[in-house]
Amino acid sequence: MSLPPFMLLRPRRLDEAVVRLADYGPEAMIVAGGTDVVPNLRAGLFSPRALVDIKGIGELGGIRFDPRSGLELGALTTLTAIAESSVVQEHYRVLAEAAGTVASPVLRNMGTLGGNLCLETRCLWYNQSTVWRKACGFCLKKDGTVCHVAPGGERCWAVWSGDTAAALMTLDAEIEIASPRGRRRMPLTEFYKNDGMDRIRLGRDEILSGVRVPARLAGYRGSYQKLRIRSAIDYPLAGVAVAMQLENGICRDVRLGLTAVNPAPLLVREVGELLRGQRFSPEAVEAAAHAVIRTGKPLKTSVSTPEYRRDMLRVFARRALTRLWSSNGGH
């Protein structure tokens, strides 16, 4: 399958890029590493008039850490750079682990953090060629009227399939968004709409330009657990991210994020309420794991069954919490 025709625009500055986006409106798409956009273009999922390639914008790169202000990540930072960053590994373990599980080494070298936070949602009925989708009458998400996953419903259940978003949510990350009107910040948790068709709160003329992680979460223990059939290449079928602060065996703070089971990455806030101030116990872990599977709602969007993915959420939640809580750091 060849790429459809489009105009390729390569702005060098962020203010230029957002003007370009504004010019083309809904007919423009942003591309950075291209690891998500290009296969989707080949599959005929998008036919933009203009692709705005932001890779050449120097100000969007880099990893900066300051013990007072925390971590700043440019949107173009590659997933490899994050996974291998000693600062991230040391202070924000859960993010390093999540970034290191994305796809494969080659794709992590190309794929960017911004791209991973803005991934298109995925579904077995959607990530197919035009010919394939046409043969089954298309689907709600693209060109059709029926959801094959939940027929009769009005909602699209295409699943959020990124790895880093859940990890960053557990770290209270904020994102920075640039537009012709300037820049704004938003908690990452508010960025996602939990709608398979319309996944993120990003205007047509906006670019996710960076991520900030507060200093107070530096040093949290972290673990990212990912379900997939192959140990590389695959998108997550379920994922659990946990960041935890311990003091003399007592859980001072904990956040648990889910991915790849709903149309958005989600924080399971109940886990914090259940565990804060507690000492490790299998019962506490079990209660938290139970909260996790009440939040995760996998459907038949992937080659694996919803039942198994739900089971694994419980196992992963249990594992991550046990590892972080009952060991000397889980590293």
Partner 1 sequence: MANFSIVGQRLPMVDGPDKVTGRGLYTDDLALPGMLVGKILHSPHAHACIRRIDTSRAEALPGVKAVVTGRDFPNRYGILPIGHDETAFAVDKVRYIGDNVAGVAAVSEEGARQALELIEVDYERLPAYFDPEETMKAESNWIHDEKPHNIEKEYHHQFGNVEQGLAEADLVVSERFACSEVTHAALEPHSTLAHYDPATDRLTVWSSTQVPYYLHLTLANVLGMPKEKIRVIKPLIGGGFGGKSEVIPVEVEAAVLSRQAALPVKITYTREEVFYAHRGRPIQIIELTIGAKRDGRLTGVKARIVQDGGAYCGYGPVTLLYSGALLGAMYDIQNVQFDGYRVLTNKPACGAMRGHGTVNTRFAFESLLDRVACELGIDPAEIRLRNQLQPPCITVNQLRVTSYGYPECIRQVVEKSGWGEKRGKLPYGKGVGIAGSHYVSGAANSIIRSEMPHSTVNLRVEDDATVTLLTGASEIGQGSDTIQLQLVAEELGVRPDRIKLVAADTERTPIDLGSYSSRVTFMAGNACLAAARNLRKQLFEAVARVWGVSADQLEARDDRVCAQNGSGKVMSFEQAVAAARQQFGTLEATGSYAPPAEARGGKFKGAGVGPSPAYSYSAQVAEVSVDTETGQVSVERITVAHDCGRAINPMTVEGQVEGSVWMGLGQAVQEEMIWNQGRLMNPSLLEYKSASTLESPEIVPILVESVDPEGPLGAKEAGEGSLAAAIPAVANAIYDAVGVRITSTPISAEKILKALRERQKPQARGNGGRR
**Would you tell me which residues interact with partner 1 (CB under 8 A)?**
1-2, 5, 104, 124, 128-129, 131-132, 134-136, 227, 229-234, 303-305, 307-308, 311-312, 315, 319
In the complex, least distance from residue 47 CB atom to partner 1, rounded to whole angstroms:
12
Residue in the block written with tokens 């590493």: 33
- Closer by beta carbon to partner 1, 94 or else 289: 289
In the complex, least distance from residue 232 CB atom to partner 1, rounded to whole angstroms:
4
In the complex, least distance from residue 185 CB atom to partner 1, rounded to whole angstroms:
35
156: nearest Cα among 124, 179, 183: 124
- Closer by beta carbon to partner 1, 245 or else 322: 322
- Closer by beta carbon to partner 1, 104 or else 194: 104
Residue in the block written with tokens 């043969």: 135
- Closer by beta carbon to partner 1, 14 or else 299: 299
In the complex, least distance from residue 2 CB atom to partner 1, rounded to whole angstroms:
6
CA dihedral 243, 247, 250, 252 (to 10 degrees): -50
22: nearest Cα among 41, 50, 3: 50
Q: Residue 113 class from Cβ within 10 Å (0-12 exposed, 13-18 middle, 19+ buried)?
A: buried
- Closer by beta carbon to partner 1, 7 or else 232: 232
Buried b (16+ CB within 10 A) or exposed e, 258-270: bbbbbbbbbbbeb
* DSSP calls for 39-54: HHHHTTS---SEEEE-
- Closer by beta carbon to partner 1, 7 or else 131: 131
Please name the helix (run of DSSP H) or strand (run of DSSP E) that holds residue 59, with its range, or none: none
Q: Are 257 and 240 in contact (CB under 8 A)?
A: yes
In the complex, least distance from residue 210 CB atom to partner 1, rounded to whole angstroms:
30
CA dihedral 312, 313, 317, 319 (to 10 degrees): 10
In the complex, least distance from residue 23 CB atom to partner 1, rounded to whole angstroms:
26
Do the strands 70-74 and 174-179 form a parallel or antiparallel pair, or are they unpaired? unpaired
- Closer by beta carbon to partner 1, 241 or else 267: 241
